[in-house]
């Protein structure tokens, strides 16, 4: 009881108590008579217990909410389906649905006629179609409606072999990808690492695919940048070019050719093309590259020096009994 001798009630009690009739609930005609309402003593109102409201089920309460103006059937569906949806998410069903069918937006877009039914790819030479699609993130779960063409292009540009890319959407269900690839020209080894490089020496990517093992091979610091020099030497070797395993840039000054049979051909710093011409003549006249040699030194313009293998030195010693030839020696 407060200072005015009134009983205080909580908000819960106020909401549970029946509402008193409003004094102006009934309209009175102009000039009419309103009967007097007898006053009820306070003591009597306190002594009369409030009638208990019948308990309503959860469904009754939700139905009442749905029938309230401004609340639609979708809200009711959310209220009714909330616990089931929560169980679906917590049980991993939602994650499985996304993994198998894609994002909800893509599922809906495919259902109304915007799948990706056809993908046209042009301009690829070294890249395979499955590599392109995987990099683009395009699979049967995607939809054309929600595909971000700019994002797909960004992903494709991250491929080392892709120099440029265009991605176009043609509704309702066709995707077009146009690529411009970098042209791999050689393999470059530096500090034990193998890279694929373009003709100007630009590194395209690390070597992780056997498709590129047949490319020309250069070794040494700045060998990639001087690739055009090495390719020019190979072009001047004719059929012998196929017998070259690698070009080694020595001290950033001159090239040595490592042949596939193990012979090293040392070229001069100046005019290596002339030395290659001499090698062609020696091979044509003496089959020099078919001998048991370790190296052929063409660095001096007026002489050719060769180093024999152990087998070559033994054969030469047997053929010249009066002159001993040491293994690995020059002649």
**What pLDDT, on the 0 to 100 scale, is given for residue 206?**
84
| pLDDT (0 to 100) of residue 90 | 57
Contacts of 104 (CB under 8 A, 6+ apart): 98
Q: Domain locations in the chain?
A: 58-109, 113-181, 186-319
- Residue 73's contacts (CB-CB under 8 Å, 6 or more residues apart) are 66
Q: Buried (b) or exposed (e) across 204-242, using 16+ Cβ within 10 A?
A: beebeeeebeeebbbbbeebbbbbeebbebbebbeebee
Domain 186-319 has CATH 3.40.50.11690: yes
Name the β-bridge partners of 189: 194, 219
Residues with Cβ within 8 Å of 63's Cβ and at least 6 positions away in sequence, in order, are: 76
Mean pLDDT, rounded, of the chain: 76
Find out whether 26 and 36 touch, Cβ atoms under 8 Å. no
Would you state the pLDDT for residue 93?
56
pLDDT interval class at 16 (50, 70, 90):
very low
**Residue % of the chain over a pLDDT of 70:** 65
The stretch 100-104 carries a mean pLDDT of: 77
Whether 262 contacts 231, CB under 8 Å: no
Q: What is the CATH number of domain 113-181?
A: 3.10.20.310
In which band, very low, low, confident or very high, does the pLDDT at 98 lie, cut at 50, 70 and 90?
A: low
Higher pLDDT residue, 43 or 151?
151
Quickly state the pLDDT bin for 177 (edges 50, 70, 90): very high
> Which tops the pLDDT comparison, 309 or 220?
220
Residues pairing with 109 in the sheet: none
Identify the band that residue 208 occupies on the pLDDT scale cut at 50, 70 and 90.
confident
Highest mean pLDDT among 15-24, 94-103, 268-277: 268-277
Q: What is the pLDDT of residue 83?
A: 56
Domains 113-181 and 186-319 fall in the same CATH topology = no
Q: Residue 109: how many CB atoms within 10 A of its CB?
A: 21
Residue 46 vs residue 208, higher pLDDT: 208
Beta pairing class for 244-250 and 217-219: parallel
Percent of the chain with pLDDT over 90: 46
Examine the pLDDT at 189 and tell me if it is beyond 80.
yes
What are 263-316's pLDDT values in tens digits?
A: 999 999 999 999 999 999 999 999 999 988 999 999 998 899 999 887 767 776
What is the average pLDDT across 146-164? 93
Confidence class of residue 207 from pLDDT cuts 50, 70 and 90?
Answer: confident
Is 6's pLDDT higher than 60? no
């Amino acid at each position: 009881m407060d200072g005015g001798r009134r009983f205080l009630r909580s908000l819960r009690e106020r909401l549970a108590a029946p509402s008193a009739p409003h004094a102006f609930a009934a309209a009175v005609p102009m000039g009419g008579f309103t009967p007097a309402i007898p006053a009820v003593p306070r003591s009597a109102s306190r002594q009369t217990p409030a009638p208990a409201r019948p308990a309503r089920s959860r469904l009754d309460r939700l139905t009442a909410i749905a029938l309230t103006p401004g609340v639609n059937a979708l809200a009711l569906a959310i209220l009714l389906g909330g616990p089931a949806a929560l169980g679906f998410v917590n049980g991993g069903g939602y994650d499985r649905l996304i993994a198998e069918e894609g994002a909800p937006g893509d599922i809906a877009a495919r259902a109304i006629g915007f799948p990706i039914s056809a993908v046209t790819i042009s301009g690829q030479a070294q890249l395979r179609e499955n590599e392109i699609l995987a990099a683009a993130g395009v699979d049967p779960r995607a939809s054309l409606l929600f595909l971000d063409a700019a994002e797909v292009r960004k992903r494709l540009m991250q491929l080392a072999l892709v120099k440029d890319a265009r991605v176009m959407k043609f509704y309702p269900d066709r995707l077009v990808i146009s690529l411009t690839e970098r042209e791999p020209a050689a393999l470059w080894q530096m500090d034990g690492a193998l890279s694929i490089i373009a003709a100007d020496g630009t590194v395209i990517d690390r070597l992780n695919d056997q498709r590129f093992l047949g490319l020309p091979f250069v070794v040494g610091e700045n060998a990639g940048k001087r690739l055009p020099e090495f390719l020019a030497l190979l072009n001047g070797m004719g059929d012998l070019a196929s017998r070259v395993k690698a070009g080694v840039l020595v001290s950033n000054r001159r090239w040595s050719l490592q042949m596939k049979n193990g012979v090293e051909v040392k070229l001069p710093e100046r005019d290596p093309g002339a030395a290659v011409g001499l090698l062609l003549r020696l091979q044509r006249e003496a089959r020099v590259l078919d001998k048991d040699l370790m190296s052929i030194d063409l660095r001096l313009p007026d002489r050719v020096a060769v180093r024999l293998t152990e087998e070559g030195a033994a054969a030469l010693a047997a053929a010249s009994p009066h002159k001993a030839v040491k293994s690995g020696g020059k002649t």
